[in-house]
Amino acid sequence: MRDLLPVEKARREQVLEHIRQVYRSRGFQEIETPALEELSRLTSGQGGENEKLVFKVLKRGEELDRAMTDGSELADLGLRFDLTVPLTRYFASNHSKLPRVLKAVQIGSVWRAERPQKGRYRQFLQCDIDVLGDESELAELELITASLAALDAIGITNATIRVNDRRVLARTLNSLGITAQERAMIAIDKLDKIGLSGVQEEIEQTYGSEVAKSVAEWLQQTQEMSIPTELSWISKLANPSKVRFDPTLVRGMGYYTGAIFEIEHPSSSSSIGGGGRYDNMVGKWSGIQTPATGISLGIERILDLLGESEKDEKSLVLLVEDDYAAALKAQAELIEQGWKVRIEKAAKNTKAQLSELSEQGFSSFTQFKPGEKLDIRKLG
């Protein structure tokens, strides 16, 4: 977990505001769920490996005493590890107050109790869009169009999206003689890391050498495969060249049921976003089968790709002595004129003081003297 310094936080909020703006302009609606969910829901088998990383919240009062005595579960709540499980719970809980098709934006922190390591945080931000209640390809078309537009808006113009479909993948594995498919999917998911021979080895261990050989042969031909019917919607995108069919794309989560996506960028070694269709999860909570699909942007990685923001040209440090009343009045007038104005008591060493504030993003300064005209100068 980490603190965000003012300059980092300003950059983050600026990026999020652009993304929000794009999603809103496409009729997506922002929603919010609590950080804490019932622990039982967070460990019900929908979250894969993430379920092992839940921060658990201790029961309180008598319930804790009881648990300590009878040895039952000590925790009853947990911090969410993603925004998808809470979203489907939200949809089930608030169904009657929501539009039939919910196009949701969620920007929120999630928590995972990982061992601290470089570039991984135990609290990090996710930014998800999801369409619930639409089983048609329109949902996928909108998700992809909106995600690319959002990335465009923050200056990431050369992202591409790899697409596959779990049904296509299942059919392929079936045709290669694999019916219990989970371990095969886990192996293929590692293609980037362990290479063709590594995948072949893992497949062989579970399914035998003949199957492994067929899988290897298939993996060697995937470059030339044409887009299957399930993914024919790709051609309806305004810019289909940004999207590439990848028959080997798996994505980790067990809950995907249809199209799956992964967003790539030439300057990032890992994906900067991803998602897919998960038609069975809402039904699990509500009993009402509801189609659903979503894309999540990896905000931390996206911020790494972006440089620092430019200085605000209309930001001013107003150096004052002790006439605070007059300074407040001058500040109000400058704000009216569109300035951002920080009142700052002149330190002994104003040079160091101003250089510090220049690093904080302020572009100009002026020495305030009541009754005199302001002499605004550039900083740094």
Q: What residues numbered 20-39 form the site for a copy of itself, per CB under 8 A?
A: 20, 24-27, 29-36
C-beta of 90 vs 207, nearer to a copy of itself: 90
Interface with a copy of itself, residue 4, by CB under 8 A: yes
Interface with a copy of itself, residue 69, by CB under 8 A: no
Q: Which residues contact 308 (CB under 8 A, 6 or more apart)?
A: 7, 11
Count of positions (residues) in the chain: 380
Among 19, 43, 90, 295, contact with a copy of itself (rule: CB under 8 A): 90
Site for a copy of itself in 214-233 (CB under 8 A): 233
| Options 70-78, 172-180, 217-225, 283-291: segment touching a copy of itself (CB under 8 A) | 70-78
C-beta of 110 vs 173, nearer to a copy of itself: 110
Site for a copy of itself in 144-203 (CB under 8 A): 145
Give the number of residues in contact with a copy of itself, rule: CB under 8 A: 82
Q: Which residues contact 225 (CB under 8 A, 6 or more apart)?
A: 245, 247
The string of DSSP codes covering 34-55 is -SEEEHHHHTSSSSGGGGGGPP
Among 82, 128, 130, 142, contact with a copy of itself (rule: CB under 8 A): 142
In angstroms, rounded to a whole number, what is the distance separating the alpha carbons of residues 330 and 345? 14
C-beta of 217 vs 333, nearer to a copy of itself: 333
Among 40, 58, 120, 208, contact with a copy of itself (rule: CB under 8 A): 58
Among 66, 120, 329, 377, contact with a copy of itself (rule: CB under 8 A): 329
What the block records as the tokens of 125 is 């931000």
Interface with a copy of itself, residue 63, by CB under 8 A: no
Least distance from C-beta 80 to a copy of itself, angstroms?
11
C-beta of 224 vs 336, nearer to a copy of itself: 336
| Options 164-172, 195-203, 288-296, 330-338: segment touching a copy of itself (CB under 8 A) | 330-338
Interface with a copy of itself, residue 79, by CB under 8 A: yes
Instruction: Report the DSSP beta bridge partners of residue 109.
Output: 125
Among 18, 51, 95, 137, contact with a copy of itself (rule: CB under 8 A): 137
Site for a copy of itself in 230-289 (CB under 8 A): 233, 235-238
Site for a copy of itself in 102-121 (CB under 8 A): 103-104, 109, 111, 113
Site string for a copy of itself, 332-361 (x = CB under 8 A): x--x---xxxxxxx-x-----x--xx--x-
Least distance from C-beta 64 to a copy of itself, angstroms?
9
| Options 8-16, 193-201, 205-213, 262-270: segment touching a copy of itself (CB under 8 A) | 8-16
Angle at 289 between CA 283 and CA 291, to 5 degrees: 100
In angstroms, rounded to a whole number, what is the distance separating the alpha carbons of residues 13 and 319? 27
Backbone phi, psi, residue 226, to 5°:
-90, 160
In angstroms, rounded to a whole number, what is the distance separating the alpha carbons of residues 22 and 306? 18
Secondary structure of residue 254 in the 3-state scheme: coil
**Is the dihedral angle over the CA atoms 6, 9, 11, 13 positive or is it negative?**
negative
Closest CA to 143 of 132, 157, 159: 132
In angstroms, rounded to a whole number, what is the distance separating the alpha carbons of residues 9 and 265? 23
In angstroms, rounded to a whole number, what is the distance separating the alpha carbons of residues 267 and 307? 13
Angle at 367 between CA 363 and CA 371, to 5 degrees: 130
Among 40, 44, 72, 123, contact with a copy of itself (rule: CB under 8 A): 123
Rg (alpha carbons) of the chain, rounded to whole number: 26
Interface with a copy of itself, residue 66, by CB under 8 A: no
Asked if 236 contacts 248 with a C-beta cutoff of 8 angstroms, the reply is no
